[in-house]
Amino acid sequence: MLLEKEVSTQILCDHCGEVCVEESLVFEEKHFCCIGCKTVFEILSENNLCGYYDLNKNAGISLKSKNFEGKFDYLNKPEIEESLLDFRSKNINKATFYLPGVHCSSCVWLLENFHKIRNGVLYSRLQFLKKELSVSYDPEKVSLKEIVELLATLGYEPLISLQSAEKDNKKDVSESRKLLLQIAVTGFAMGNIMLLSFPEYFKLDLENNVDARYQAFFLYLNFALSMPVFFFGAIDYLKGAWRSIRDLVQHNSKILSVDIPIALGITALFVRSTYETLFLHSAGYWDSLAGLVFFLLVGKWVQMKTYDFLSFERNYKSFFPLAVKVKNGTSTDYKNVADIAKGDTMIIHNEELIPADSTLLSEHAHIDYSFVTGESEPESIWIGNQVFAGGRQKGRAIEVLVNKEVSQSYLTQLWNQDNYKKEKKVAHTQLADNFAKYFTYITLAIALVTGLYWYQHDVSVIWPAVTAVLMVACPCALTLSMPFTMGTVMGILGKNKFYVKNQEVIQLMNETDTLIFDKTGTLTNASKQEVVYLGNTLTDEENQILKAMTSSSVHPVSKAISNFLGNNPDEIGITIKEEKGQGISANHKNHLYQLGSDYFVNVPIDNRDNTARAWLAIDGEIKGFFQIKSGYRENWKQVLNTLKSRFGLFLLSGDKNTDASMLASEFEKTHLFFEQKPIDKLNFIKDLQEKGKRTIMIGDGINDAGALRQSDIGIALSEDSQSFTPASDAILDASVFEKLPLFLNFSKWALIIVKLSFLLSLVYNFIGVGWAVSGKLSPVMAAIFMPLSSISVVLFAVSFTYLVAWRKNLLKQM
Amino acid sequence: MQVIILLVIAALVVAGGFLAAFFWATKDGQFDDTITPAVRILFDDSDKSKKGE
């Protein structure tokens, strides 16, 4: 064993790579920053799993200030355990966990070798991007609680929330699988049909008996191969068009879906080719049909791509705990949060969330409502008063009496609003709507005119000419340019840490005119704190003592104050006592120094207010207080200034109006709103929308959830895109906040590019229709012309998008 | 020249076999997660990683 106390260079923890601040713990000649990290190493080395460190140096997750004792006890309760299991039988159970800590290949290796650490675990598989671990285990040898505790000890604490008990994500997997199969079948048919059509392209000699026999064989083979293309590959377009026509006839909607012209083209191709095959024995347009459907499906696949590792659909259930400790007479028990009823007494520990509106039974509590209101400072609550769901207790465990069920609570009511009961309406953008409408009508008009013309001149040409018009006019190139452009834009934005939920959001972004900001956590940065001291001026000695007091504590407020006080080289020997979550007291030269909450320092009731400050008292006499504010993001003024020219700007904050004067320089005075409750924010946006505004809401917390949902577009700002964000349409990484105007501008360009490629494909359609009306469109021409136009439009759209991104310096990080 | 009919059918059967294989792979979930297997393949099977140092 080796103990190094003083070293000139910094020692890095061999597990997590953090600097070992105090003296490092040493085990087998390796250094660790805390007991947690050392424990993990011990577990791994005992089980011969140190390969973990060979894959990535310092791969581990810091375990400082983590305490899991008793945290997962509720998993011992059978009903709760049951709700988490995917599968249950006598000797094998299966469960899936979400592990936010997963970050590198070492994680995959360790977690998939989990069975070597704990006897009874049979099998574990990790889905890296989704951070989901599926575990099978023998319930007779190991319990779910033990598995979860071990995962937590290793640094991969599973996130178990009220939502974990609901399994509903199987559906989208089957949808993407179906599309893959459709592409495969259509691609298979397309390749073969084109190959079998080759003789036709080179003009068979039909006078020759041998060639004629082959022709029939190729023809019927093509016909057979096309069946799955039409009835399996293209089925969704046909169904979509049918639904749209039905809605139109029943006056349910006035929107013509873009599926209609597509289905029209596909059906025209199919009917005409069938007719030619069966009655004329000439090659139909099977190759064009297969090619068309194939390209359409590929476009759809591009459109469906999203970010697997992000979730855009979270509600309060993702944030609320699964179980809570409940007092049952004299003993305590765990109860599923969904089953909490009026009259239950809950016990809430430090840092735990209160799941239902209740009355405080303990004498005093410090509740952090930042989750609900956005107000960053914890509130001081006394016995007999209300505490609301979503509040987080700071400090000692408290007892509360439930007076409303979880789903009826103040916060959760938001989700019972009407707009949550139905799915958020898929954004029908003006562009796509108009396009489908005009395109369908114009196509039908041209077909009609063509038919009438040939009726007067040569009746035999009506059928080939009209079907050819419908075939060529099929907006394949048009429908491809949209997904490919938007898909490219989405990819580039994603690389720049702005994650958009789907392509419609980009289109919709260009139709908005109003931007609404939240303040706390959005314009301000929670991790950037500013400290203000108000009160009697401090002497140097007092300064030193305060520095010593605060630097001894790990509480975030103490840390902030300690930084604020600056460096004081002289150490003074004092005895310091800290009461967790309350305050610090110290004795120096027979004087008592106290720093902490109003309750701790005994501030007279009159001077107390609900904002928590760190009060300073010497010998019981109050000297002043420290107030901590979060600082504004860098360049926030510039960002707002740039956006001002294009958008109306509003600010909705849950905070008090202390910063109003500062914000007034960027917002119009009448556009600033403070002390807004979540429901106020939602209604405010509803009002704006009723006045005809189209809105983008930018917020970060669950307190903005209602507004984010109500707004045409909700952008959730996140300090770390891996962490939890409320349901939204887009997630913006806080580090690129200043690029927001650039992103909005880029999406505007995306729309221009789409319009340009629309124009290009219209030129193609014009040429094609020109051939078609004259009745001269041969199968070979169609087979070459249609894919060529599609591919060239896609190439144009993608390369133009990259060009714009390059000019805007958006490609640098790639 | 009759053989061409046989050849075309044989070719279709072979390609159809691969299409069937693709169906099986998709339904088996092999395309649901395309990242983790790429990471997984880099690991050594043995537990003797210490000896390598």
Report CA Rg, chain A: 33
Q: Which residues of B touch A49 (CB under 8 A)?
A: 47
Q: What is the pLDDT of residues A307-317, one digit of tens each?
A: 766 767 666 67
Return the pLDDT at A527. 64
Q: What is the pLDDT of residues A528-559, one digit of tens each?
A: 667 778 778 778 778 878 887 877 776 667 77
Return the pLDDT at A800. 92
- A–B: how many Cβ contacts below 8 A? 69
B43 contacts A109? CB cut-off 8 A: yes
A176 and A299 in a common domain: yes
B29 contacts A108? CB cut-off 8 A: no
Min distance B17 CA to chain A CA atoms (Å): 11
Residues facing A715 on adjacent strands: A698, A730
A346 and A449 in a common domain: no
Report CA Rg, chain B: 21
Min distance B7 CA to chain A CA atoms (Å): 12
Name the residue among B1, B27, B49 with its Cβ closest to that of A210.
B1
Supply the mean pLDDT for chain A. Answer: 79
Q: Are strands A672-673 and A379-382 parallel, antiparallel or unpaired?
A: unpaired
Range picked from A403-407, A450-454, B13-17 for highest mean pLDDT: B13-17
Of A35, A66, A97, which closes a domain? A66
Chain A segment 116-135 residues within 8 A of B by beta carbon are: 116, 126-130
Does residue B52 surpass a pLDDT of 50?
Answer: no
The total of other beta-carbon atoms located within 10 Å of residue A614's CB is 26
Consecutive H or E run containing A621: strand A621-632
A296 and A187 in a common domain: yes
Confidence band (pLDDT; 50, 70, 90) for A3? very low
> What average pLDDT score do residues A766-779 get?
78
Mean pLDDT check: name the lowest of A2-11, A324-333, A403-412: A2-11
What percentage of chain A has pLDDT greater than the value 70?
84
CATH number at residue A159: 3.30.70.100
Residues facing A695 on adjacent strands: A514
Q: What is the pLDDT of residues A170-229, one digit of tens each?
A: 556 778 889 999 999 999 999 999 888 887 777 666 566 666 777 788 888 999 999 999
More confident residue, A589 or A688: A688
Total domains, chain A: 6
Residues of B contacting chain A (CB within 8 angstroms) = 1, 4-5, 8, 12, 15-16, 19, 22-23, 26-27, 29, 31-33, 35-36, 39-40, 42-44, 47-50, 52-53
Does residue A1 surpass a pLDDT of 60?
Answer: no
Residue A122's nearest CA partner among A108, A140, A135 is: A135
Min distance A56 CA to chain B CA atoms (Å): 12
A204 and A340 in a common domain: no
Residue of chain B nearest A51, judged by CA positions: B49
| DSSP state string for A687-725 | HHHHTT--EEEEE-SGGGHHHHHHSSEEEEEESSTTS--
Name the residue among A51, A105, A191 with its Cβ closest to that of B49.
A51
Min distance A291 CA to chain B CA atoms (Å): 18
Residue A43's nearest CA partner among A109, A118, A100, A108 is: A118
B33 contacts A129? CB cut-off 8 A: yes
A116 contacts B1? CB cut-off 8 A: no
| CA atoms of A230 and A277, how far apart (whole Å) | 15
| CA atoms of A27 and A146, how far apart (whole Å) | 25
A804 and A754 in a common domain: yes
A188 contacts B15? CB cut-off 8 A: yes
Min distance A83 CA to chain B CA atoms (Å): 25
Q: Which residues of A touch B41 (CB under 8 A)?
A: none
Amino acid (one-letter) located at A577:
K
Mean pLDDT check: name the lowest of A462-471, A756-765, A776-785: A776-785
Min distance A127 CA to chain B CA atoms (Å): 6
Residue A581 falls within a domain, yes or no? no
Does residue A337 surpass a pLDDT of 50?
Answer: yes
Residue A480 falls within a domain, yes or no? yes
> What average pLDDT score do residues A735-757 get?
88
A221 contacts B8? CB cut-off 8 A: yes
CA dihedral (A346, A350, A356, A357) positive or negative: positive
A196 contacts B49? CB cut-off 8 A: no
A31 and A104 in a common domain: no
Return the pLDDT at B23. 93
Chain B CB within 8 Å of residue A196 CB: yes
Min distance A128 CA to chain B CA atoms (Å): 5
Domain range spanning residue A395? Answer: 325-416
Confidence band (pLDDT; 50, 70, 90) for A372? low
Ramachandran angles phi, psi of A69, nearest 5°: -60, 125
A178 and A155 in a common domain: no
Residue A580 falls within a domain, yes or no? no
| CA atoms of A482 and A756, how far apart (whole Å) | 11
A184 contacts B36? CB cut-off 8 A: no
Confidence band (pLDDT; 50, 70, 90) for B49? very low
Min distance B35 CA to chain A CA atoms (Å): 7
Return the pLDDT at A2. 44
Residue A609 falls within a domain, yes or no? no
Q: What is the pLDDT of residues B1-48, one digit of tens each?
A: 678 889 989 999 999 999 999 999 998 888 877 778 887 777 766 544
Whether A71 and A153 have beta carbons less than 8 Å apart is answered as no
Residue of chain B nearest A182, judged by CA positions: B23
Residue A188 falls within a domain, yes or no? yes
Q: What is the pLDDT of residues A221-262, one digit of tens each?
A: 999 999 999 999 999 989 988 988 888 888 776 677 778 888
CATH number at residue A711: 3.40.50.1000
Confidence band (pLDDT; 50, 70, 90) for A21? low
More confident residue, B51 or A359: A359
Name the residue among B12, B32, B35 with its Cβ closest to that of A192.
B12
A126 contacts B19? CB cut-off 8 A: no
Return the pLDDT at A11. 72
A105 contacts B39? CB cut-off 8 A: yes
Chain B CB within 8 Å of residue A177 CB: yes
Return the pLDDT at A111. 83
Consecutive H or E run containing A451: helix A430-457
Q: What is the ipTM for the molecules in this complex? A: 0.85
Name the residue among A54, A181, A214 with its Cβ closest to that of B49.
A54
More confident residue, A728 or A317: A728
A55 contacts B42? CB cut-off 8 A: yes
CA distances from B13 to A213, A227, A651, A752 (A): 22, 17, 65, 47
Q: Which residues of B touch A126 (CB under 8 A)?
A: 36
More confident residue, A781 or A795: A795
A403 and A479 in a common domain: no
Residue A690 falls within a domain, yes or no? yes
Min distance A171 CA to chain B CA atoms (Å): 12
Residue of chain B nearest A184, judged by CA positions: B19
Of A690, A711, A744, which closes a domain? A744
A392 and A271 in a common domain: no
Does residue A374 surpass a pLDDT of 50?
Answer: yes
Of A11, A38, A66, which closes a domain? A66
A224 and A83 in a common domain: no
Min distance B48 CA to chain A CA atoms (Å): 7
Q: Which residues of A touch B43 (CB under 8 A)?
A: 51, 55, 108-109
Chain B CB within 8 Å of residue A110 CB: no
Return the pLDDT at B34. 78
Optimal mutation site among A53, A128, A197, interface B, most CBs of chain B within 10 A? A128
Return the pLDDT at A105. 77
Residue A394's nearest CA partner among A369, A366, A360, A364 is: A366
Min distance B3 CA to chain A CA atoms (Å): 11
Confidence band (pLDDT; 50, 70, 90) for A421? very low
Return the pLDDT at B18. 95
Residue A355 falls within a domain, yes or no? yes
More confident residue, A398 or A723: A398
Return the pLDDT at A8. 43
B47 contacts A51? CB cut-off 8 A: yes
Residue A718's nearest CA partner among A511, A710, A708 is: A708
Mean pLDDT check: name the lowest of A467-471, A495-499, B40-44: B40-44
> What average pLDDT score do residues A50-78 get?
71
Return the pLDDT at A764. 84
Confidence band (pLDDT; 50, 70, 90) for A612? low
Chain B CB within 8 Å of residue A57 CB: no
> What average pLDDT score do residues A508-513 get?
84
A137 and A10 in a common domain: no
Residue A530 falls within a domain, yes or no? no
Residue A666's nearest CA partner among A698, A694, A638 is: A638
Residue of chain A nearest B15, judged by CA positions: A188
Half-sphere exposure of A409 (CA within 13 A, CB side): 28
Return the pLDDT at A558. 75
Name the residue among A48, A128, A214 with its Cβ closest to that of B47.
A48
B49 contacts A177? CB cut-off 8 A: no
Name the residue among A51, A108, A221 with its Cβ closest to that of B40.
A108
A119 and A22 in a common domain: no
Tell me the angle at which helices A209-228 and B3-27 cross, rounded to the nearest 10 degrees: 10
Chain A segment 215-274 residues within 8 A of B by beta carbon are: 217, 221
Consecutive H or E run containing A267: helix A259-275
Confidence band (pLDDT; 50, 70, 90) for A5? very low
